[in-house]
Every structure is written in structure tokens, then in C-alpha cells.
Structure 1
Amino acid sequence: MTEHRSASARSRRRRSGPAHGSGRRGGKGPLWGGLAALTVLGAVGLAAAEWTSSGAGGSHGDARTEPTVQAGTGPATSRPTHAAKPAPSASPRSPAPSGSPSASAPDIPSTGPGTFTAASGGSAKVGTGTPLRYRVEVEDGLDLSAADVARQVEAVLADRRGWTADGRSAFQRVSGGTADFVVRVATPGTVDEICGQYGLNTGGEVNCNVSDNVMVNLKRWLLATPVYAKDVPAYRALIINHEVGHFLGHGHVGCPGQGQPAPAMMQQIKGMNGCVPNVWPYDDRGRYVTGPAVP
């Protein structure tokens, strides 16, 4: 997600609206050893609590820390959110994939060659009306399958809680020819370079939408943010919905109220502000999840 709007409008867009204990040597006996152990355990507990509450900055064009809330992606109804069946792109109960914070931290290159490979094949049209054609590309040299990324993006854009629920938007993935927009997963340095060409500062941390590019920072794709650390696939859905939402002409909104689902167009990386995690533009009943407009 990014806190920036697309730098240039597209004619086909639709608008809507982050101590150790020590014992002394010598004849102090078991008492000192027990005190040292208690000190170590206390320090470990404090360190763990500090990590949980601080976290790292994230993906809305701002490196601020997210508050810790229970991870989840529930829509406006009480039922938990889950992705379309073709891919586990937003299942609250799906195990965190390799490369998520719960697994060993991946080695993320700071920059890459700036060239991309497109996923082959294509998808059927989803949604009503003339579809927006899009490609999915992965920067060369990354340990990511373009085909796998494409399947996840397809599942997000085809979900009934996605942008097709507006009754106007439609999508179709292509591998070549003319495309209306391109979803690109790239290293932080490459994202910075492409977004920077349009005056946006992504700081090596976040995503953006500029012109026909939906730029996805590899760091966010693999690590998500603290709020979604236990459900990285859900955060990937939020990235796609937020940035494609910008491409469609949607601006940022705030939290609509305490305990309400966070809108997909809310900059959730800056804090949930009382909202609960949600990655979809629409809820299970087809209602648009939004809030007050913000800059």
C-alpha cells in the first residue's frame, strides 16, 4: 500500500466515490543461580513484548510503526474472510508461507536488474463490462515464480469481495500485447527507482501505483507487516486491492469507526485507529467498505 495516489490519471479508470542476567562466580550457591535465571527470563519476556508492540514500518508510503492487533481479515460480517478457492491469498487460517516473519527471514536483495519476466498464459474475464487487461511480472533474478504470483493476483481480482463487486470493473490477465496495467513484484531499489520517476518516495519499504504500474515491494510481499504477520497471503491481497484501487481512481479513506472493518483504501500501515483488519473493498453482502476521505 502506499500513501500516494497515481501520478497520472488513466482514461480507462473508473472513480467512485519495528539485557541479560548474570550470576557471580564463587560460593554464592543455588540462590544466585536461581536469581540469575529469573533475571534472564524476565529480560526475554520484556524483549518479546517490545518486539510485538513495535514492529517495522510498512507499505503505505510511510515507515511508521503499526500497533499490535489480532491478525485477521474479517469483512463487515462476523464470518472470517477467506480468499477465493483458486489460491490461499487471503485465508486467515492458512499457515504462513516460507519467507513470512514466522519462518526464517528471507534474504531480500536491496536492488535488482530492473528487468522483468511476465507470467505466461492468461485468465478468463472476471467482472462485468469491458475488462481491463493486465500483466503480472516478476523482476529477474528473484526466487519467485511469476506463474505463482500471477495465480495469487488472479484470485484476488476474481474474489467476489474485490473490485468487480462494484458492478463496473472487470479484469483479464494477459501475457503479451496491449495491457491497461502491469502488476510488478520487484526489489525495494527497483520500486524506489520506478516510483521515484513520478516523484514518489517509497523509501525502500513500500509499494506504489504510478501510471500503469502497480509496483509491489518484494519486502512487503514476503514479510507483510506486524498486523498481518500471521497471514501474509491476506496482506498480499490488501496490496493488490489497495494499489489497483488507486489505478481505478479511488483515494485514501480513514477508519469508519471503532471495531469496524478497515477499508482496503485505508493506509493500514499507519495504524488501525480502532478498526479491525480487513483486506477487501466489499464485504460478504456486497457493501462497499469505506470511511471518511483523507489526504
Structure 2
Amino acid sequence: MLTALVASVLLLGVAAFALNRPSDAPAPAATAQARVAPPGEQSPGTAPATPTPTGTPTPTAPPTTAPTPTPTAPDPGPTKGSGTFSTAPASAKAVGRGTVRRYRVEVEDGIGIDAASAAAQIHGILGDRRGWTNDHKNGFQLVAGGSYDFTVKIASPATVDKICGASGLDTHGEVNCNVGNQVLVNSKRWNTGSPQFSGPIDEYRALIVNHEVGHRIGHGHETCPGPGKPAPAMMQQIYGLKGCTPNAWPYSADGTYLSGPAVP
């Protein structure tokens, strides 16, 4: 009896030792539910990562185009000068043949036009082969002093109105005139030209001089000879071209007189 009891105790001890001994068996293989998570996928039971906010895209400003510069209108100069004049200190040899008329150039003080430069330009206009010397009857000589036949005066609109108005001519601050022994050139026209004349300012200055000096040597007003033809220098082109093309010269380069019907 005692022997059987001892044997039972020994068997229970061996069984307990076997149950508590560490196992050397390999770990079980993965089941179908256990898999490698694809990149970016979180394991079950793991709190999802909070996405990092990305910055709001900054809108790109559209490309800008620089504005086209607006052409600057020529400065007409002051409407009124001092009323006194300075004579251009310039002389030159006579140009042309036939009767030579001596002239001087005066510019009103305070209107911003250099007298010597203006005189040089007027001398060039009167000596141009397209000018009045092409008739072989008239010549011109720029002088600074001594006797003279006429004066080319460049003056402000107010002064032109005053001098021309004294002879009964209404220049209304815009145009030129020829009175006595004076050719009056409106400084506004000298500086800006005319809306009717599309050529460069130097060409319009030539028209002013040729038109007014034309009166001095006996030419009257003329009008357009026909559509598309050059306007005569003796036409009052500032009032419209009547179908003609702008022209500053009494003669063409080949010596043809550019005339039109006389205006009564």
C-alpha cells in the first residue's frame, strides 16, 4: 500500500516537470491571416499615422507685358514771348541766280528757339535745289547786319497775331503771315508742324519758308491739281490737302515746277 502511494507521487512529479520544462520546438508557421503588409499599409491594431499637411500651392502670377510707350507729342512752346527779338549772328554766301534778296533771321526772346540754328536751317531751305532758286530768277543771301530786303521772324502765336493783325490778317494763334518786309513764322507751327502734313518736322519748316517767301517773290495761292499729286508749296496745306499728297517744295528734284490751279 505504501509502495503504491510513493509510486503515484513520483509519477505526478515527473508529469509536472515535463509540463513546466522550456520547449525547444520550432515556432509555428505563419497562417494565411498573417502576411507582410504592403509598403505604406499599417499593421492591424496600430494607430494610423497622422498625415503631414503639405503647403498650399502659391499661385504663379501671370507674365506681365510692358506697356507700349505712348509717343510724346512735340512741345508747341509758349503761347507768348517777350515781344523783343534777337537777330541771328549768321551770314552766308548768296544762293541762286537772278535778283538776290538779302534777308536776316530774328527770333522772339523767351520762346526757346535758337536764332543761329534757325538761320542755318532757313539758309539751307532757300538754297535747296527744289526751292525757289530753281527758277533761275531769284537768289537769297543770309545777313546778320547791314541793309536787307526782308526779315524772317519766328515769334510766339500771340506776337504773330499782334503783328499780322495790325495789317488786317487774322492768324488766330495758329498760322503764319507775310506783311510788309516781314515773314512771320508762328513758333507753334515751327515746333509741331501741322496735323495735315505727315512728313517730318524739317519738311514742314521748309513748307513754311517756301510758302511765305513765295509770296514775297510774287506767287499767289494755288490749290490741289488732282488726287494723288503733290500739293503745291503755294497751297495752304494746313487747311486740308483736297486729295493731294503733302509736299514742301515748289520744284521736284528733276526741276519740274509743282503747280496747281490759282486760287482767286
The normalised TM-score by structure 2 is: 0.71
Change (3 A) 1:105 1:158: closer
User: Match of 1:222?
Assistant: 191
Q: Matches of 1:102 and 1:160 in 2, distance apart?
A: 33
Change (3 A) 1:284 1:117: same
User: Match of 1:131?
Assistant: 100
Q: Matches of 1:133 and 1:270 in 2, distance apart?
A: 31
Q: Matches of 1:126 and 1:230 in 2, distance apart?
A: 25
Q: Is the 8 A contact 1:255 1:291 kept in 2?
A: yes
Change (3 A) 1:105 1:231: closer
- The alpha carbon displacement at 1:106 in A equals 2.1
User: Match of 2:91?
Assistant: 122
User: Match of 2:59?
Assistant: none
Q: Matches of 2:86 and 2:143 in 1, distance apart?
A: 13
Q: Is the 8 A contact 1:102 1:229 kept in 2?
A: no
Change (3 A) 1:157 1:256: same
* Aligned residues between the structures: 195
SS in 2 for 1:106: coil
User: Match of 1:268?
Assistant: 237
The alignment's C-alpha RMSD in Å is 1.5
SS in 2 for 1:164: helix
Q: Matches of 1:241 and 1:121 in 2, distance apart?
A: 20
Q: Matches of 1:230 and 1:286 in 2, distance apart?
A: 21
SS in 2 for 1:227: coil
Q: Which runs of 5+ in 1 are unaligned?
A: 1-100
User: Match of 2:219?
Assistant: 250
Residue by residue, what CA displacement relative to the aligned partner does 1:85-114 show, whole Å, maximum 9, x if unpaired? xxxxxxxxxxxxxxxx95344262222222
Q: Matches of 1:294 and 1:104 in 2, distance apart?
A: 33
Percent of aligned positions that are identical: 55
User: Match of 1:55?
Assistant: none
User: Match of 2:18?
Assistant: none
Q: Matches of 2:229 and 2:240 in 1, distance apart?
A: 14
Q: Matches of 2:215 and 2:76 in 1, distance apart?
A: 30
Q: 1:284 aligns with which of 240, 249, 253?
A: 253
Q: 1:145 aligns with which of 114, 128, 137?
A: 114
Q: Matches of 2:217 and 2:117 in 1, distance apart?
A: 24
Residue by residue, what CA displacement relative to the aligned partner does 1:119-174 show, whole Å, maximum 9, x if unpaired? 11201110002410000110011211101101110110000010000110000000
Q: For 1:119, give the aligned amino acid.
A: A
More moved, 110-119 vs 149-158: 110-119
Higher relative contact order (CA 8 A, sep 6+): 1
Structure 2 residue 137 is the aligned partner of structure 1 residue 161: no
SS in 1 for 2:202: helix
Q: Matches of 1:196 and 1:187 in 2, distance apart?
A: 14
Q: Matches of 1:238 and 1:253 in 2, distance apart?
A: 14
Structure 2 residue 208 is the aligned partner of structure 1 residue 239: yes
Residue by residue, what CA displacement relative to the aligned partner does 1:226-259 show, whole Å, maximum 9, x if unpaired? 2335511110000000000011111001101111
Q: Matches of 1:291 and 1:180 in 2, distance apart?
A: 28
Q: Matches of 2:76 and 2:204 in 1, distance apart?
A: 20
Q: Is the 8 A contact 2:197 2:237 kept in 1?
A: no
Q: Matches of 1:255 and 1:146 in 2, distance apart?
A: 34
User: Match of 2:141?
Assistant: 172
Q: Matches of 1:209 and 1:141 in 2, distance apart?
A: 22
Q: For 1:205, give the aligned amino acid.
A: E
- The alpha carbon displacement at 1:115 in A equals 1.1
More moved, 105-114 vs 231-240: 105-114
Q: For 1:227, give the aligned amino acid.
A: Q
Q: Matches of 2:249 and 2:74 in 1, distance apart?
A: 27
Q: Matches of 2:71 and 2:168 in 1, distance apart?
A: 35
Aligned residue runs from structure 1 range 23-102, under 5 A:
102=71
Residue by residue, what CA displacement relative to the aligned partner does 1:253-277 show, whole Å, maximum 9, x if unpaired? 1101111110000111111111111
Larger-Rg structure: 2
Q: 1:188 aligns with which of 134, 157, 166?
A: 157
User: Match of 2:78?
Assistant: 109
- The alpha carbon displacement at 1:287 in A equals 1.3
- The alpha carbon displacement at 1:207 in A equals 0.3
